[in-house]
Structure 1
Amino acid sequence: MKIQKHLLKLVRVQRIMAIRVCSAYRTISAEAVRVIAGIPPIYLLARERAETYEGKEKQEARKDLMVMWQEEMSAGRHGGWTYELLPLIEVWLNRPYGEVDYYLTQALSGHGCFRKYLFDRNRAPNDKCPTVAM
């Protein structure tokens, strides 16, 4: 994890994997897709494993991972809409119900068949809902 080039390759692979897990659009940020899919960043997972190998309790290492992940998400530049909807990652991960599917991922990420999203990518003539009377 000390060589930046190798770390970036791992992060890219993890992002693709998370996109597949929750059926997200490829334009979603790595931060948002990891939260929605429930997959912590690879470098935090590696740190957690190293800490447990060195003798730290698993629960304590997981708690530290969650704190670092939460801090990273709240200070991040990307995934703002997802963070606004899911401000506490641990609450989202420990929910007692439901699975993530294509439609829920679109709503949680803001990347989907929404007029604003399509307009921003030159796929719609305007960002107004076509069903609303003018």
Structure 2
Amino acid sequence: MALYGAPIRAGRMTERTKALIRRPQRVVAQRTVDARTRGEPPDPEEDERVARAAKEHLRQQWRDTLENGHYGIRTIGAILPVMEEWLDRRRGVLTYRVTQVVSGHGCFGHYLHRIGREPSTQCLDCGADDDTAQHTLQECNRWAGERVAAIEVVDLSLHSVIAAMLSSERKWNAMASFCEHVMSQKEAAEREREAAADALPLRCRRQGRRRRAFVRQDP
């Protein structure tokens, strides 16, 4: 938890947040020093056994939570059957745009309508009624060429795509390339709709504190 997003937020940390992170580190260090002072050096084998047991316990808790989840059902249904392979993989970076397609939280008409940024769920690329992440991945005519070239599975359900990604680095990279190409274009189209002179009020860029801070940092 302490390291989540560390490369992004490290330069923006205040002294207060640094102190909060150092607090648990200090506790662990003090306990280690106390044990060595008493002549009780840590047993590497015991440390490994405890760490392994804690890891398995955490994974089981995570699995139980996902099995009883009420949100993100599509994503959970795709990853849960291969959860161990997903967590233990040694290749494949989960990029921002891969995450958008896997989670469904991105520049999709369905999601943008849900958060009040589009008047309907319609796909503005092909005219379909419901522009979901799965529609973009499997059905939208706009991306037919990219889909054939990048995703080498017949069944384009998210579960099958995830399984293919885990099977080889080449297939993972092909899927990542598809997501990068498609989502970058969908994002560019959304920015154009936001900047249009006749843009609907709900499409206009938000001017809140976080948006202003982002604009100041954007070169």
**TM-score bracket for the superposition, by shorter chain length:** 0.5 to 0.7
Matched, 1:69 2:62: yes
Matched, 1:113 2:102: no
Q: TM-score, normalised by structure 1?
A: 0.52
In the alignment, what sits opposite 1:83?
Answer: 76
Q: Which residue of 2 aligns with 1:99?
A: 93
User: Separation in 1 of the partners of 2:115 and 2:55?
Assistant: 39
Runs of 4+ in structure 1 over 4 Å off: none
**Taking structure 1 as reference, are residues 114 and 17 closer, same or farther at Cα in structure 2, changes over 3 Å only?**
farther
In structure 2, distance between residues paired with 1:17 and 1:78 = 25
Q: AA paired with 1:123?
A: R
Deviations, residues 63-89 of structure 1 (Å, cap 9, x unaligned): 222122111111123332321221143
How far is 1:131 from its partner?
A: 1.9
Bigger radius of gyration, 1 or 2? 2
- CA gap 1:111/1:69 in 2 versus in 1, 3 angstroms: same
**In the alignment, residue 104 of structure 1 is paired with which amino acid?**
V
Residue segments in structure 2 that go unaligned for 5+ positions in a row? 9-45, 129-219
Q: Which has the higher contact order (CA 8 A, sep 6+)?
A: 1
Distance change in 2, residues 1:17/1:96 (3 Å): closer
Deviations 1:47-76 (A, max 9, x none): xxxxxxxx6823233222212211111112
Coordinate RMSD, CA, aligned: 2.8
2:70 and 2:113 map into 1 onto residues whose CA distance is: 22
Match of 1:89, as an amino acid?
M
Q: Which moved more, 1:112-121 or 1:79-88?
A: 79-88
Which structure carries more helix by proportion?
2
Mapping 1:17-56, distance limit 5 Å: 18=4, 20=5
* Aligned counterparts of 1:106 and 1:70: Cα–Cα separation in 2: 22
Corresponding residue SS for 1:86: helix
Counterpart residue type for residue 64 of structure 1: H
CA distance in structure 2 between the aligned counterparts of 1:76 and 1:131, rounded to whole angstroms: 32
Query: What stretches of structure 1 of length at least 5 have no aligned partner?
Result: 1-13, 24-54
Residue 17 of structure 1: how far off its partner (Å) = 6.7
> 1: distance between equivalents of 2:127 and 2:117?
21
Q: Matched residue pairs, number?
A: 87
